[in-house]
């Protein structure tokens, strides 16, 4: 099987700008086939943690809303609460952050709502019968939506290697319980030789699982309290926190993909995926900062197949020359696997292999430039 991935480059003119290009992408992926009149259509986004500036700009969501309205669908813009302490861990702070980042009615022409409720426990069970989960807990308003448009900022990520459509669908559409079960086998350890006792990981840990040993002055993780969110791994400025990558990463990726399968189960024919390969930062928009991009902006890609879409985006980033002065260091030659340079222990491919195996999509694609 081969999927079609449509790509708009970022050249622009008076006649054809980013807005007309996004509208054309939606036409080409057949949005009209999936949106019936009055269809409650979830536009799944990531509103960005406070301090981050690399999330998808709200104004670029507007053409998606307009296209859904033109088909007489009812659009709403949505995301789920986070596991970790931050500015999006409950619906109130999440909506405040979204508003501050420009995700509001005057810009979007659609309401914003948090799909898993006030505290992240508003979910519905979806039977999947897969290797790790017999059922998954999907955010209620994603489950309840008639159709789904998943808009993802494509960038690096410390656990799956990159974050794209599968990550946005799998982790991003899960309620709190679902996020926890995906992270359950991520149990980090502190390397005492590297730890300088700066306490940054203590402040960031959502579970209060890290303390400082009074005698040694080093951080200690209580595995009974740890929920495996993985945040401390990236937060530590000394790279003192690590996990057993070989055992952990493939299982984490498979669980994430099973959730992705569940998130669009029942509306697979009414699910559409758009990846923005722009401001490709090394890490997730969940952090309150975004390091400089690792490649120049590449384009906007869309498909009905999230697996082919992520594969195509990864291939384009790898093929591009790396950005001098970025987190890639000296390894900027075109063709180098930039995700492996950023996260040497993480193989990003298992998520795509497993997603193909369970029938979520295929890795083989034809890239059609529009
Ligand atoms: S110890 Fe690390 S992985 Fe565990 S809950 Fe705290 S921040 Fe998350
Ligand atoms: S952030 Fe790193 S260096 Fe600082 S206390 Fe935690 S483990 Fe130690």
* 256 membership: H or E segment, kind and range: helix 245-263
DSSP E strands: which ranges in 39-134? 40-44, 74-79, 112-114, 123-127
The per-residue pLDDT for 243 is: 73
238 CB within 6 A, ligand 2: yes
The Cα 82–Cα 119 span in angstroms is 9
Task: Point out the ligand 1 atom lying closest to the alpha carbon of residue 222.
Answer: 1
Give me the chain's average pLDDT, please: 94
The per-residue pLDDT for 329 is: 95
274 CB within 6 A, ligand 1: no
The Cα 274–Cα 153 span in angstroms is 9
pLDDT band of 305, cuts 50, 70, 90: very high
Return the domain boundaries, the chain: 3-183+258-369, 189-242
pLDDT band of 168, cuts 50, 70, 90: very high
Give the Å distance between the CA of 229 and the centre of ligand 1. Answer: 5
Residue minimizing CA distance to atom 7 of ligand 1? 205
Judge contact between 228 and 274, C-beta under 8 A.
Answer: no
306 CB within 6 A, ligand 1: no
CATH of domain 3-183+258-369: 3.40.50
Summarize pLDDT for 125-154 with one digit per residue, the tens.
999 999 999 999 999 999 999 999 999 999
Ligand of minimum distance to the alpha carbon of 205? 1
Q: Is the pLDDT of residue 115 over 70?
A: yes
Name the nearest CA neighbour of 287 among 233, 218, 360.
Answer: 233
109 CB within 6 A, ligand 2: no
Q: Average pLDDT, stretch 47-71?
A: 97
Would you identify the CATH topology of the domain 189-242?
A: Alpha-Beta Plaits (3.30.70)
Within 8 A by CB and 6+ apart from 182, the residues are: 170, 171, 174, 252, 255, 256, 259
Summarize pLDDT for 231-287 with one digit per residue, the tens.
787 788 898 988 766 668 899 999 999 999 999 999 999 999 999 999 999 998 988
Output the pTM of the full model.
Answer: 0.88
The Cα 98–Cα 39 span in angstroms is 24
- Please choose from 192, 196, 208 the residue to mutate so as to test ligand 2's pocket, defined by most ligand atoms within 8 A of CB: 196
Q: What is the largest CA-CA distance in the chain?
A: 68
Mean pLDDT is lowest, of 204-213, 246-255, 313-322, for: 246-255
The per-residue pLDDT for 183 is: 83
pLDDT band of 224, cuts 50, 70, 90: confident
pLDDT band of 204, cuts 50, 70, 90: confident
Task: Point out the ligand 2 atom lying closest to the alpha carbon of residue 210.
Answer: 6
Summarize pLDDT for 96-106 with one digit per residue, the tens.
999 999 999 99
Give the Å distance between the CA of 234 and the centre of ligand 2. Answer: 10
Indicate if the alpha-carbon torsion angle 263, 290, 278, 40 is positive or negative.
Answer: positive
The per-residue pLDDT for 181 is: 85
The per-residue pLDDT for 247 is: 61
Query: How far, rounded to the nearest angstrom, does the alpha carbon of residue 174 sit from its chain's CA centroid?
Result: 12
The per-residue pLDDT for 157 is: 93
Task: Point out the ligand 2 atom lying closest to the alpha carbon of residue 212.
Answer: 5
How many degrees, rounded to 5, is the angle at CA 296 between CA 292 and CA 297? Answer: 100
305 CB within 6 A, ligand 1: no
């Amino acid at each position: 099987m081969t999927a079609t991935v449509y790509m708009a480059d970022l050249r622009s003119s008076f006649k054809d700008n980013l807005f007309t290009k996004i509208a054309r992408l939606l036409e080409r992926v057949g949005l009209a086939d999936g949106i019936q009149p009055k269809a409650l259509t979830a536009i799944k986004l990531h509103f960005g943690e406070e301090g981050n500036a690399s999330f998808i700009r709200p104004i670029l969501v507007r053409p998606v809303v307009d296209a859904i309205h033109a088909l007489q669908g009812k659009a709403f813009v949505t995301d789920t609460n986070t596991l970790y302490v931050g500015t999006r861990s409950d619906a109130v702070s999440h909506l405040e952050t979204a508003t501050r980042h420009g995700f509001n009615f005057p810009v979007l022409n659609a309401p914003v709502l948090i799909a898993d409720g006030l505290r992240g426990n508003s979910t519905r069970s979806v039977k999947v019968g897969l290797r790790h989960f017999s059922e998954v807990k999907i955010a209620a308003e994603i489950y309840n939506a008639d159709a789904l448009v998943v808009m993802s900022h494509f960038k690096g990520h410390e656990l799956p290697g990159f974050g794209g459509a599968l990550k946005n669908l799998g982790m991003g559409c899960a309620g709190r319980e679902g996020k926890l079960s995906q992270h359950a086998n991520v149990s980090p350890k502190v390397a005492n030789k590297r730890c300088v006792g700066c306490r940054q990981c203590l402040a960031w840990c959502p579970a209060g699982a890290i303390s400082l040993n009074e005698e040694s002055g080093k951080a200690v993780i209580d595995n009974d309290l740890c929920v495996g969110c993985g945040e401390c791994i990236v937060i530590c400025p000394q790279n003192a926190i690590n996990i057993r990558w070989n055992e952990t990463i493939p299982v984490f990726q498979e669980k994430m993909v099973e959730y992705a399968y569940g998130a669009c189960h029942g509306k697979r024919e009414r699910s559409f995926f758009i990846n923005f390969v722009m401001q490709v930062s090394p890490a997730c928009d969940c952090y309150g900062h975004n390091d400089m991009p690792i490649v120049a902006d590449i384009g906007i890609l869309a498909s009905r197949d999230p697996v082919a879409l992520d594969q195509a985006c990864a291939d384009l980033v790898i093929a591009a020359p790396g950005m001098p002065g970025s987190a890639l260091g000296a390894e900027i030659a075109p063709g180098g696997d930039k995700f492996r340079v950023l996260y040497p222990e993480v193989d990003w491919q298992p998520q795509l292999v497993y997603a193909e195996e369970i029938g979520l999509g295929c890795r083989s694609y034809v890239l059609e430039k529009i």
